[in-house]
Amino acid sequence: MAFPRCDQTVAWSALSGHFEAHGRDLDLRQVFADNPDRVQRLGIQAPEVFGDLSRVHWDVATLRHLLDLARECGLEARRDAMMAGEVMNTTEGRAVLHTALRAPRGQGPHSQQVHDVLDRMLAFVENVRTTAGGTAPGQITDVVNIGIGGSDLGPQMVVPALDAFVHPGLNFHFVSNADGQDLASVLRKVRPEHTLFVIASKTFTTQETMANAVAARQWFADHGGTDIARHFVATTTNVEAAAAFGITQTFGFWDWVGGRFSMWSAIGLPIALALGSSNFHAMLAGGHAMDEHFAQTSLAHNLPVLLGLMDVWYRNFKGYSSRCVVPYHHGLRRLPAYLQQLVMESNGKRVDAQGAPLPFGTSDVLWGEAGTNGQHAFFQMLHQGTDVVPVEFLLVRQPSYRAPGSMTPALRALLDQQHHMLLANGLAQAQALMWGKTAEEALGEAVPTAAPDMPAEAIAKHRTFPGNRPSLTLLMDEVTPRSLGALVVLYEHRTFVSGALWGINSFDQWGVELGKALCKDLLPRLCSGDTAGLDAATAAMIARLR
């Protein structure tokens, strides 16, 4: 598809002029005063997720220019081509069809093979769950997922997020790090006769995953395990390698499923084991509903599109090089880690799809922590630091914790009160970022008695908040399989939008390859001490390590 890169369009020039004239010094407090209906105009309801974009550093004119940019870059045609199965990953010659994994039976490309694998996987799931939690030999109480990257981050994020829906007789553990401490700490908690290991690797050759898998198999044998075929299962396309390992039960997926988009495929086996078939289908349905919103809603009311346009505006015009994601929901504490791979592995590129160097920035640095924990860690910098970092607040109207065994009305009331406290904190932080506090306001407050020798005016400067710091709020009624599915897909398509405008290939990840290749050379050198041909720094470090 021949569409212009964003900086090669007429709309980009117009947007640049608008930025210099009006966008550089936009003050949210004044914009709100001038536009009393701003909240209504910039509130977007998508499936399961409401987006309040009123505290974004833009105005109506900015948004109009950004929409013009999206149209001139052919965003709608690019979107349609991806969802139709055209080759979007040009460096690897692959289609990009994670959307097909969520489509109902009979809809979308490859529906038959997708649902054949899904049906077989969910039949296995229900067989395990039927007797899970018992004490008889062979009954499963613990599931250990061994994978890394996209074969780990999705299931590791979803299972705790949906804790209220997890089978009460099953415990879930996730091992990804090549550091043996990761696996060893899990193996101390489980028994071989009641443990199911899921080895997640598309090629069944991923170095970290296979090292952990071999060690887990050794532990299983050392502790009397005798039936590898029963206690080990693989999500892979390399059936032969899995069989050589001793695994006979495998569930595959396809080269048009990228790792960071794979939790909807057989890689989601731990999710399905935790939630059961009906809830896994609900998660797929929530994702599909957001797919439909992205595919069918006009650009001006399309939440993934608007968020992707915001990312371009922030990165290339406002100069914001990072963003902070703060979910005010303990279950979503692994969401920032999941989004790090989704965003930075997709859009952390320095050349466009044709290989030409880019004259502008692409992916921002994404980071975050669950609220309210983050407030007592890095919010000092967000409020009073020298860099402006846009913050994304995720709020959930209804709590979704699993009740303790015997919950009294008094305990229920206290936990509900804590949820209100959580929401109030999220609202207050967004409010404080925007409004700030002037020196005059700070001067009018009581001076701390601990600093009797510091002038009140000096103390007031330390207690001044500049304000006008942007944020957005995403609101869900409750964290359910359906709503979480919709939220994840919102971020997937948002990432696609910004990558499409930047003209990059958001679906390869060559940046992870070089270090892995060099590791294969260095590993035997650590054993032999051979440093011939190495740079001086690496050679010296090998000598010191030995």
Catalytic residue list: 345, 376, 516
Q: Does residue 199 contact residue 147 with C-beta atoms inside 8 Å?
A: yes
Q: What DSSP character marks residue 101? A: G
Query: Does residue 220 sit in helix, strand or coil?
Result: helix
Dist. CA 201–CA 265, nearest whole Å: 12
Structure tokens at 276: 């059961």
Q: Rounded CA gap, 131 and 139, in Å?
A: 6
Is residue 62 within a helix (H) or strand (E), and if so which, with residue range? helix 60-72
Cβ of 109: how many Cβ atoms within 10 Å? 15
Helix or strand run (H / E) with residue 416: helix 409-435
- Structure tokens belonging to residue 1: 């598809």
Q: How far apart are CA 544 and CA 546, in angstroms?
A: 5
The rounded distance, in Å, linking the Cα atoms of 134 and 539 is 54
SS3 content of the chain, % helix, strand, coil (to 5): 55, 10, 35
- How many CA atoms are closer than 13 Å to the CA of 430, on its beta-carbon side? 24
Closest CA to 215 of 172, 247, 183: 183
| Pairwise CA distance, residues 161 & 144, whole Å | 17
How far apart CA 493 and CA 113 sit, in angstroms, is: 24
Quote the radius of gyration of the chain (alpha carbons, Å).
25
- Residue 287 in contact with residue 102, Cβ under 8 Å? yes
CA distance to 8, 150, 213, 345, per residue, from 202 (Å): 38, 10, 14, 18
d(CA 311, CA 321): 10
Query: What b/e readout covers 466-494, taking b as 16+ CB neighbours within 10 angstroms?
Result: ebbbbbbbbbbeebbbbbbbbbbbbbbbb
Give the H or E element holding residue 476: strand 471-476
Beta partners for 44?
51
Q: Among 173, 171, 194, 163, which Cα is nearest to 404's?
A: 163
SS (H, E, C) 366-381: EEECCCCHHHHCCHHH
**Pairing, β 365-368 against β 250-251:** unpaired
16 φ/ψ angles, rounded to the nearest 5 degrees? -65, -40
